């Protein structure tokens, strides 16, 4: 999901002009010269989980991507948050869709800003209830990895790498915190 | 900032049709019959701060709203997160704009889902460096309140009320956590 530049008004279809709106706003927006609609583009949330298995959460579920970008690379289940759901509900939905896993949701774990692409990524911890996975069409394969098995060079996204690193560090400490990070 | 329903393609201006896209998506989207652009509407982030003053953070800065909705009600400084900034940078920007306060940012404090309006609200704690405020045009008055002075019935938004309640509860405990809440 990407957003091509807005050239036409979403309400009436007229070509927009980029200018300061008349309401005191200090940023240029796409303003419709016909109906006056002001259009805003804002950051998007990506929500996902760190699904773990084992008495001490020693294994993490990763999904091998069957879609671009990063086809064939490994990721945690995650995707764009939708209207009508909470961050946790969106994270659970993506875990169902991409891994077909049975799990219970635990707490919020990482909140990461990725300014370069206009996104905020939020990951929750989750506990797997079974090791049977039924990955959807976006996933080639879903499998469990111990820390030493994680294919660090084959991880699809920096936010996933950081979240996995936080998970194994907290696991060693024996306490899971909520981590806030800014990603280049 | 609200988003009127999308009726025309943002790229070419043609009237869109609401239907399932052809890429396996399971939700109806606004699809352009002319250029094929698929449009997504997603939740927005609102970012703000809890600016506190005093050796033990005993006073909190609130702003009396000079804009609708909730004109004349009290709020914490907050607003929509913009592209090009982190959640913390957006929260700081809003605190400058609405209160004209001098402060330093502290950690993330509340993460609240408001599904009904398609928003996620994130508040940071901040420490005021001065009690001189220069509120912008969106604020009638900015002033400090102790816990017993908070005008609970005159607070503009439930997320602000919940964040203030978390703040004073944590202050009594002597430890500030990150709180996740779903707001009706």
pLDDT value, residue A107 = 98
pLDDT higher than 70, residue A1 = no
Q: Give ipTM to 2 decimals.
A: 0.95
**Mutation target vs B (from A33, A38, A86; most B CBs, 10 A cutoff):** A86
Whether the pLDDT of residue A61 is over 90: the answer is yes
The conformation of residue A168, written as its DSSP 8-state character, comes to H
Residues of A in contact with B111 (CB under 8 A): 87, 108, 111, 122
Q: Which distant-in-sequence residues (6+ apart) come within 8 Å of B77 by Cβ?
A: B48, B49, B51, B61, B63, B94, B95, B97, B98, B99, B101
Q: Alpha carbon of A147 to those of A59, A101, A157, A161, B151: distances in Å?
A: 7, 20, 17, 12, 51
pLDDT value, residue B19: 96
Q: Is the pLDDT of residue B2 over 70?
A: no
Closest residue in chain A to residue B113, using alpha carbons only:
A86
Domain B1-41 shares a fold with domain B44-182:
no
Yes or no, beta carbons of B108 and A4 under 8 Å apart: no
CA-based nearest residue to B95, from B54, B124, B59 = B124
Show which of residues 122-181 on chain B sit within 8 Å of chain A, judged by CB atoms: 122, 137, 178, 180
Structure tokens at A59: 């294994």
* Among candidates B11, B83, B122 on the partner chain, residue whose Cβ is nearest the Cβ of A8: B11
In CATH, the number for domain A1-41 is 2.20.70.10
Question: Which H helix or E strand runs over B87?
Answer: helix B87-99
pLDDT band at A23 (very low <50, low <70, confident <90, very high): confident
Q: Could you tell me if A114 lies within 8 Å of chain B, comparing CB atoms?
A: no
Confidence of residue A2 (pLDDT cuts 50, 70, 90): low
Domain B44-182 adopts which CATH fold?
Nucleoside Triphosphate Pyrophosphohydrolase (3.90.79)
What whole-number distance in Å separates Cα of residue A77 and Cα of residue A65?
10
pLDDT in tens, B142-159: 999 999 999 999 999 999
Tell me, what's the pLDDT at B46? Answer: 98
Q: Please tell me the predicted confidence (pLDDT) of residue A87.
A: 98
pLDDT at B1 over 80: no
pLDDT, tens only, A79-137: 999 999 999 999 999 999 999 999 999 999 999 999 999 999 999 999 999 999 999 99
The domain ranges of chain B are: 1-41, 44-182
Scanning B33-52 for CB atoms below 8 A from A yields 37-45
pLDDT grade, residue A4 (50/70/90)? confident
Closest by CA position to A136, among listed A90, A67, A71, A88:
A67
Query: CB distance from A111 to chain B under 8 Å?
Result: yes
Q: Give the three-class secondary structure for B93.
A: helix
What pLDDT does residue A120 have?
A: 98
For chain A, the average pLDDT equals: 96
Q: Quick check: pTM over 0.90?
A: yes
């Amino acid at each position: 999901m990407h957003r091509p530049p807005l050239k036409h008004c979403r309400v009436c279809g007229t070509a927009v002009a980029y200018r300061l709106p008349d309401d005191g706003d200090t940023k240029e927006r796409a303003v419709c010269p016909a109906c006056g609609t002001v259009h805003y583009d804002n950051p998007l949330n990506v929500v996902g989980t760190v699904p773990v298995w084992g008495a001490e959460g020693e294994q993490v579920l990763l999904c091998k991507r069957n879609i671009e970008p990063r086809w064939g690379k490994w990721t945690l289940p995650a995707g764009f948050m939708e209207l009508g759901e909470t961050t946790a509900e969106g994270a659970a939905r993506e875990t169902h869709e991409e891994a077909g896993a049975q799990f219970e949701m635990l707490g919020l774990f990482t909140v990461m800003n990725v300014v370069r692409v206009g996104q905020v990524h939020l990951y929750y911890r989750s506990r797997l209830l079974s090791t049977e996975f039924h990955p959807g069409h976006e996933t080639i394969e879903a499998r469990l990895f111990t820390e030493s098995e994680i294919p660090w060079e084959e991880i699809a996204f920096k936010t996933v790498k950081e979240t996995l690193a936080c998970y194994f560090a907290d696991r060693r400490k024996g306490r899971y915190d909520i981590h806030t990070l800014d990603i280049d």
